[in-house]
Amino acid sequence: MTGVEPLPHRQGADPLGGFWDHDAHIGPVVVGQDEIRRRVAELGRQITADYADKPPLLVGVLKGAFIFMADLARAIKLPVEIDLMAIASYGSDTTASGGVRSMKDVDTDLVGRDVLVVEDIIDSGVTLSYLRRYMWAHRPASLEVCALLVKSGLQRRKIDLRYIGFTIPPDFVIGYGLDVDQRYRNLPDICIYRPDGSTGD
């Protein structure tokens, strides 16, 4: 790829390197990797302070939260425990879903635990309300949610989140764990996805 000019819409942005610089589906950066790193460190400090006397059980929601979970867990200076669950939502690749179901349960007994759910992104809020109901049914002592991203203005119900990384406009985004058809999860920045690969805005 060396010697090839980056795509016009990416000029001025920090080069992502390799294949990424020539993929027309990758739009402008919404949250860059440096900003993510700073914010994750802040969230880690806040969670460390809030849970000082009751180290939480972190429950990551697969697959989208896997990178955020890994970074956040290392930013929390407490003896946390880690578990993972997987849920699937029905719908097309880039539109909000109507239904949600559990694909993989947690392995840990949640009764009496201080559970902190780690989520990638809240769009319609349907997944979040499913998660809340699902987790409360396991009778934890407390339940809070840490979402890396919240899309502004799309939630039909009130969402009550203890920890939010960034509030972003309602575009479909990729990177830092977020995918389209299982791709782009390893993109280090969070970028707008361009379905048609157009270079214009």
Residues interacting with ligand IMP, by CB under 6 A?
A: 64, 89, 96-97, 120-128, 172-173, 178
Instruction: Kindly state the smallest distance separating residue 127's Cβ from ligand IMP, in Å.
Output: 3
Nearer to ligand IMP, 143 or 190 (CB): 190
The answer for residues whose C-beta is within 8 angstroms of residue 169's C-beta and 6 or more apart is 30, 151, 152
Nearer to ligand IMP, 64 or 188 (CB): 64
Residues recorded for the chain = 201
- Confirm whether 123 is a catalytic residue: yes
Take residue 107 and report the two structure tokens written for it: 């392995």
Buried b or exposed e, range 84-97, using 16+ CB within 10 angstroms: bbebeeeeeeeebe
Catalytic residue among 71, 114, 120, 123: 123
Instruction: Kindly state the smallest distance separating residue 9's Cβ from ligand IMP, in Å.
Output: 18
Instruction: Kindly state the smallest distance separating residue 103's Cβ from ligand IMP, in Å.
Output: 12
Take residue 184 and report the two structure tokens written for it: 């782009």
What residue ranges in the chain does DSSP mark as E strands? 26-31, 57-62, 81-89, 100-104, 114-122, 142-151, 163-168, 173-174, 190-193
Instruction: Kindly state the smallest distance separating residue 135's Cβ from ligand IMP, in Å.
Output: 15
Q: Measure the CA–CA gap between 192 and 199, rounded to whole angstroms.
A: 12
Nearer to ligand IMP, 30 or 40 (CB): 30
Nearer to ligand IMP, 114 or 119 (CB): 119
Instruction: Kindly state the smallest distance separating residue 77's Cβ from ligand IMP, in Å.
Output: 27
Burial of 12 (0-12, 13-18, 19+ CB in 10 A): exposed
Nearer to ligand IMP, 46 or 97 (CB): 97
Contact (Cβ atoms closer than 8 angstroms) between residue 150 and residue 121? yes
Q: CA neighbours within 13 Å on the CB side: how many for 28?
A: 8
Q: Give the residue numbers marked as catalytic.
A: 123
